[in-house]
């Protein structure tokens, strides 16, 4: 592909957009903000759009976007060796000052290397010179485990963009050299400079710690403290600023309503890492939604705990009055109320997503999902009684202490929800459907299960076959069960350390054949995935301090084995109120 063809396609893309920023470069800091997937996916990512706005809100910065080209264009770029260009000004990415990646998913790691190659930038930080852009990696993966990407990054920005963007821009403005810049950033909260730390390993291959690189003017902090805003009271909520029909969600207005979740499910890295719960200002959410209404007819409410916003019913009612069709993210069962369900149905929503996680109350206590089957069925009845036709369910298998009875319980609970759906469907004359999505547990870093090995794939495969047999032949119920092999390589990218980098590099070269990549690179994937880490003094992701103590996670795991809940504050208050009645 010739560069002029890239330019023509970029101009055609911009012609369909509303809200993008175009600035002269001049003496400004020039940032290429990269999403390591296609435009279709990246422009539906609210974090990506938020960082774009944060950079461009500064007069001394110009930020332009770059995406992984679609397959055909990618092949043409590789064949012609044409440079990867930014979208706004069609400038070669390799000529800018910073290439900042916003990464949300482990599967996009190989795309980072593909984009570096297209830009003519060496993949490994040690191979770059002062003429190359500074490679910054941020996004959700930095909250989990940045170490598999550490050798490819000059800087890892761990935390929330609102706190990270200003010191990054300031340091780039004030630094006298690349070395000076890295040293400045190392002293700022949230910035991890992998080259300043050398991992140390024991005889068994386990990580034992990090040695600080010699010759630094001042020792950088270890661990690096995650950067996060203390309060959202004075912040604009992250929201769509660029509208285009050519995205996964179409011209939908996305807005973050509340950050964090108080429920503390023991498997959920996001629940722990985005604490504390911080709602965004109600009036500002509605003002932004009103301004976006000429460009969007649907609104997507982004949150891991939507109903933790104290004004959620007012927000929903205000959006309904504007004529929006409202699409929330997965709703927490214990917060679903009749007014909320009615507003969603009145806006045109026909389906709701909930996450029972498992079918038994016992196993839900193990994972700290603080609802019971009776409550789930009560909410299902509420959902279907108010005109919602379709229900999507998230389940997991491979949980600690799981038995065959727990798999049967998934079937039984789903059947009971189906009964309620059919009961209300008969009165309406229209039958909806229930769709279940089942994923094997990956013990994620930064959770109470972070020391656990992943379940043996042979055991998971037996459970998968068993569950498929249990769910077969049920009318209006459809289950999608993810394979254990898919989860195996995702677990490698979640639980590995810097020694996984050669496998990522090999997977990029061979078209993401992970089995071949692991074999070629000599990476011992089983070591990272199936090893009990409870005796390890240091875990790879300990390099980032997410704010939660290891002792807390250990106590939570002990409670899991005792099948005990840790109730969130709201449920504690409810139980205290009900206790005299129960007694």
pLDDT of 219 reads 67
Tens digit of each residue's pLDDT (9 = 90 or more) over 154-178: 999 999 999 999 999 999 999 999 9
CB neighbourhood size of 455 (10 A): 23
Say which residues have a Cβ less than 8 Å from residue 332's Cβ, sequence separation at least 6: 261, 263, 305, 306, 307, 308, 354, 355
pLDDT of 236 reads 93
Binned at pLDDT 50, 70 and 90, residue 388 comes out as very high
Measure the CA–CA gap between 400 and 392, rounded to whole angstroms.
24
pLDDT of 569 reads 64
CB neighbourhood size of 446 (10 A): 24
Res. 576: pLDDT tops 70: no
Binned at pLDDT 50, 70 and 90, residue 577 comes out as very low
Mean pLDDT, rounded, for 53-58: 97
Q: Say which residue the tokens 């175009």 belong to.
A: 22
Measure the CA–CA gap between 155 and 127, rounded to whole angstroms.
15
pLDDT of 583 reads 31
Measure the CA–CA gap between 278 and 281, rounded to whole angstroms.
10
Tens digit of each residue's pLDDT (9 = 90 or more) over 230-249: 999 989 999 999 999 888 77
Q: Say which residue the tokens 């054949």 belong to.
A: 513
Complete domains list, the chain, with CATH: 3-225 (3.40.50.280)
pLDDT of 23 reads 96
Which two tokens mark 559?
Answer: 């409670």
State percent of the chain over pLDDT 70: 97
pLDDT of 2 reads 59
* 3-state secondary structure string across 194-231: HHHEEEEECCCCCEEEEEECCCCCCCCCCCEECECCCC
Based on the number of CB atoms within 10 Å of its own CB, is 210 exposed (0-12), middle (13-18) or buried (19 or more)? Answer: middle
Res. 221: pLDDT tops 80: no
Res. 575: pLDDT tops 70: no
Pair type for strands 207-212 and 197-201: antiparallel
Mean pLDDT, rounded, for 350-378: 96
Tens digit of each residue's pLDDT (9 = 90 or more) over 481-502: 987 778 899 999 999 999 999 9
Which two tokens mark 269?
Answer: 């890295």
**DSSP secondary structure letters along 291-346:** HHGGG-SEEEEE-SSGGGSTTHHHHHHHHHHTT-EEEESSBPGGG--HHHHHHHHH
Mean pLDDT, rounded, for 435-451: 96
Question: Is the alpha carbon torsion for 178, 182, 188, 191 positive or negative?
Answer: positive
Say which residues have a Cβ less than 8 Å from residue 574's Cβ, sequence separation at least 6: none
* 3-state secondary structure string across 487-498: HHHHHHHHHCCH
Binned at pLDDT 50, 70 and 90, residue 480 comes out as very high
Res. 582: pLDDT tops 70: no
* Residue 156 falls in which region: left (phi positive, over 0), alpha (psi -120 to 50) or beta: beta
CB neighbourhood size of 339 (10 A): 12
pLDDT of 570 reads 60
Q: Which of 362, 358, 476, 353 is nearest to 419 (CA)?
A: 476
User: In whole numbers, what is the pLDDT of the chain averaged over residues?
Assistant: 92
Mean pLDDT, rounded, for 344-367: 95
Q: Give yes or no for a contact between 131 and 111, defined as CB atoms under 8 angstroms apart.
A: no
pLDDT of 408 reads 98
Per the model's pLDDT, the better-predicted residue between 573 and 86 turns out to be 86
Mean pLDDT, rounded, for 559-578: 70
Res. 580: pLDDT tops 50: no
Mean pLDDT, rounded, for 498-516: 97
State percent of the chain over pLDDT 90: 84
Res. 458: pLDDT tops 80: yes
Q: Give yes or no for a contact between 47 and 10, defined as CB atoms under 8 angstroms apart.
A: no
Say which residues have a Cβ less than 8 Å from residue 68's Cβ, sequence separation at least 6: 35, 36, 37, 38, 74, 111, 114, 115
pLDDT of 117 reads 97
| DSSP 8-state secondary structure symbol assigned to residue 42 | H
Mean pLDDT, rounded, for 431-439: 95
pLDDT of 426 reads 85
Task: For residue 85, list its beta bridge partners.
Answer: 92
Measure the CA–CA gap between 93 and 473, rounded to whole angstroms.
53
């Amino acid at each position: 592909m010739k560069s002029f063809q890239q330019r023509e396609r970029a101009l055609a893309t911009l012609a369909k957009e509303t809200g993008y920023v175009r600035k002269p470069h001049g003496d400004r800091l020039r940032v290429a903000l990269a999403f390591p997937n296609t435009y279709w996916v990246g422009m539906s990512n609210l974090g990506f759009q938020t960082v774009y706005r944060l950079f461009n809100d500064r007069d001394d910065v110009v930020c332009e976007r770059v995406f992984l080209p679609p397959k055909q264009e990618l092949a043409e770029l590789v064949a012609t060796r044409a440079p990867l260009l930014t979208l706004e000004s069609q400038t070669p990415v390799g000529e800018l000052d910073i290439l900042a990646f916003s990464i949300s998913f482990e599967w996009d790691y190989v795309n980072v290397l593909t984009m570096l190659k297209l830009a003519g930038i060496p993949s490994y930080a040690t191979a770059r010179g002062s003429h190359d852009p500074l490679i910054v990696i941020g996004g959700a993966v930095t909250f989990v485990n940045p170490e598999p990407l550490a050798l490819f990054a000059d800087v890892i920005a761990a935390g929330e963009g609102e706190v990270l963007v200003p010191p990054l821009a300031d340091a780039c403005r004030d630094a006298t050299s690349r070395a000076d810049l890295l040293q400045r950033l190392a002293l700022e909260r949230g910035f991890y400079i992998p080259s300043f730390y050398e991992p140390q390993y024991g005889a068994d291959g386990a990580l034992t710690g990090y040695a600080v690189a010699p010759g630094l003017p001042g020792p950088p902090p270890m661990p690096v403290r995650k950067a996060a805003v203390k309060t959202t009271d004075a912040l604009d909520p992250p929201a769509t600023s660029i509208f285009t029909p050519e995205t996964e969600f179409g011209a939908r207005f996305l807005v973050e309503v509340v950050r964090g979740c108080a429920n503390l499910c023991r498997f959920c890295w996001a629940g722990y890492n985005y604490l504390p719960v911080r709602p965004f200002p109600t009036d500002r959410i509605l003002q932004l939604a009103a301004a976006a209404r000429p460009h969007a007819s649907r609104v997507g409410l982004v949150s891991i705990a939507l109903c933790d916003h104290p004004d959620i019913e007012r927000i929903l009612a205000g959006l309904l009055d504007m004529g929006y069709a409202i699409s929330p993210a997965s709703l927490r069962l214990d917060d679903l109320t009749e007014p909320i369900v009615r507003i969603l149905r009145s806006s045109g929503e026909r389906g709701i997503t909930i996450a029972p996680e498992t079918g038994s109350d016992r196993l839900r206590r193990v994972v700290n999902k603080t609802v019971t089957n009776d409550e789930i069925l009560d909410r299902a009845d509420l959902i279907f009684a108010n005109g919602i036709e379709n229900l999507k369910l998230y389940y997991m298998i491979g949980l600690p202490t799981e038995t065959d009875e727990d798999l049967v319980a998934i079937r039984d609970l789903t059947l009971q929800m189906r009964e309620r759906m059919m009961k209300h469907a008969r009165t309406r004359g229209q039958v909806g459907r229930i769709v279940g999505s089942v994923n094997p547990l990956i013990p994620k870093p930064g959770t109470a299960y972070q020391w656990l090995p992943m379940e043996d794939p042979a055991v998971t495969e037996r459970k998968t076959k068993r569950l498929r047999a249990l769910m077969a032949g049920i009318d209006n119920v459809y289950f999608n069960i993810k394979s254990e092999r898919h989860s195996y390589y995702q677990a490698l990218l979640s639980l590995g350390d810097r020694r996984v980098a050669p496998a990522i590099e090999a997977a990029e070269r061979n078209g993401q054949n992970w089995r071949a990549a692991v074999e070629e690179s000599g990476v011992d994937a089983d070591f990272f995935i199936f090893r009990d880490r409870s005796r390890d003094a240091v875990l790879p992701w300990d390099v980032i301090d997410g704010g939660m103590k290891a002792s807390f996670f250990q106590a939570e795991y002990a409670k899991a084995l005792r099948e005990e809940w840790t109730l969130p504050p709201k449920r504690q208050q409810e139980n205290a109120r009900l206790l005299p009645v129960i007694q």
